[in-house]
């Protein structure tokens, strides 16, 4: 794969008189609710500017290692109510890959800057900004902002302030995976101390967060993991986070559930991010009137269950999509949730595996995120 690098500065000014043509690119690069498709090349409302940026951009949907380009973006004068954010770190998430491929349900119009999660520092702002200050750390208030870039511009409402006393890679990744774990643990079944949750995909960041949140609340977890070399090391690592049980999926056929539970209640909540036989394993362990929540489909196979499970166990199947939750809740609710999670990070009670990679090594990080370099932790791009 070759990620092309080129400068668009001269081309941008050359095309500026064709407002509609360059307007589409500028809007993707510097999103703003007040943006006009017809660009006024020399009109400004502020003396504050955002410096030149380098950004990962796609003009068409397709395979990420084919359609992504790293481009140089010229400096831009900030408009009323906008802030310039120097990005510090941004992860490569599966949803980012799906947006680039064009298969995610909600995606920005192309051309667009890739990346939907991250943390940055406010370095400049125009008039009209009321609740942010220079030096504040901020994260996107919604997905699809475009975070794989050295600098980003957006209206003040694009960003939420976070405390800067946590490692930047945690601030950069708090929005998607930890929030998904927390919402699924809170919104479907009322969990009480001593209850049991069963999940597959336990080694994922969501899975690791579920284990630690459960421990925080006195809830037990049964964690299903795929069979692999070094599975004992995996089990020990998850137990160190607080997992009650870690089981290879291959053991489900011979498992004595009563012995496993050792007098505890049957699981009332199951979490599925795999599908196929892994989802069937969760359903097998789920108790009567239990609920299984599906939030991913890594195996790309359907969720199936027996008629008997519906009739005699009265199981319920539901789904969760964080973006839907965020669209129906206030920004204050989102901020409260991220503050709680980062508070756990701050005191060492929430942690997960990540690999920080310099933005200059983007190609390598992308290959790992695409699974083309073997198993790898979450790739987090760093810009400092």
Catalytic residues: 104
Distance CA 152, CA 172 (A): 14
Distance CA 186, CA 184 (A): 5
Q: Which of 249, 250, 227, 223 is nearest to 237 (CA)?
A: 223
Under 8 Å CB-to-CB from 138, ≥6 apart: which residues? 83, 85, 119, 120, 121, 122, 132, 159, 160, 161, 162
Distance CA 30, CA 132 (A): 18
Q: Report residue 57: phi and psi, to 5°.
A: -125, 145
The token duo for 368 is 């790992």
- Give ∠ CA 121-122-127 in degrees, rounded to 5: 175
The token duo for 379 is 């790739």
Distance CA 374, CA 368 (A): 7
Query: What is the DSSP-derived secondary structure letter of residue 196?
Result: E
The token duo for 24 is 């589409």
The token duo for 219 is 């809830």
Distance CA 114, CA 265 (A): 44
Q: Which of 231, 180, 234, 187 is nearest to 209 (CA)?
A: 180
């Amino acid at each position: 794969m070759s990620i092309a690098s080129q400068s668009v500065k001269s081309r941008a000014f050359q095309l500026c008189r064709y407002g509609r043509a360059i307007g589409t690119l500028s809007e993707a690069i510097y999103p703003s609710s007040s943006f006009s498709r017809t660009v006024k090349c020399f009109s400004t409302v502020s003396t504050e500017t955002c410096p030149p940026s380098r950004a990962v951009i796609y003009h068409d949907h397709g395979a990420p290692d084919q359609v992504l380009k790293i481009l140089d973006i010229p400096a831009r004068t900030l408009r009323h109510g906008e802030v310039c954010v120097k990005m510090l770190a941004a992860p490569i998430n599966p949803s980012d890959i799906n947006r680039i491929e064009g298969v995610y349900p909600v995606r920005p119009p192309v051309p667009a800057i890739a990346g939907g999660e991250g943390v940055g520092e406010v370095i400049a702002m125009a008039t009209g900004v009321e609740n942010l200050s220079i030096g504040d750390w901020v994260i996107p208030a919604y997905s699809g902002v475009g975070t794989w870039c050295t600098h980003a511009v957006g209206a003040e409402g694009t960003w939420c302030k976070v405390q800067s006393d946590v490692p930047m890679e945690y601030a950069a990744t708090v929005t998607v995976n930890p929030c998904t774990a927390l919402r699924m643990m809170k919104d479907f079944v009322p969990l009480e101390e001593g209850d049991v949750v069963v999940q597959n995909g336990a080694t994922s960041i969501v899975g690791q967060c579920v284990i630690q949140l459960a421990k925080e609340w006195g809830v037990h977890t049964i964690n299903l993991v795929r069979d692999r070399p070094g599975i004992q090391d995996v089990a020990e690592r998850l137990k160190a986070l607080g997992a009650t049980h870690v089981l290879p999926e291959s053991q489900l056929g011979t498992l004595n559930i009563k012995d496993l539970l050792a007098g505890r209640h049957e699981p009332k909540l199951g979490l599925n991010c795999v599908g196929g036989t892994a989802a069937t394993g969760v359903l097998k362990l789920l108790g009567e009137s239990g609920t299984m929540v599906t939030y991913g489909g890594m195996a790309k196979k359907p969720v199936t269950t027996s008629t008997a499970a519906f009739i005699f166990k009265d199981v319920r199947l539901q789904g969760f999509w964080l973006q839907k939750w965020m669209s129906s809740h206030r920004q204050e609710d989102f901020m409260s949730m991220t503050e709680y999670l980062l508070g756990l990070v701050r005191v060492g009670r929430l942690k997960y595996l990540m690999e920080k990679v310099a933005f200059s090594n983007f190609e390598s990080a992308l290959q790992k995120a695409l699974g083309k370099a073997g198993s790898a932790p979450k790739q987090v791009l760093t810009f400092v």
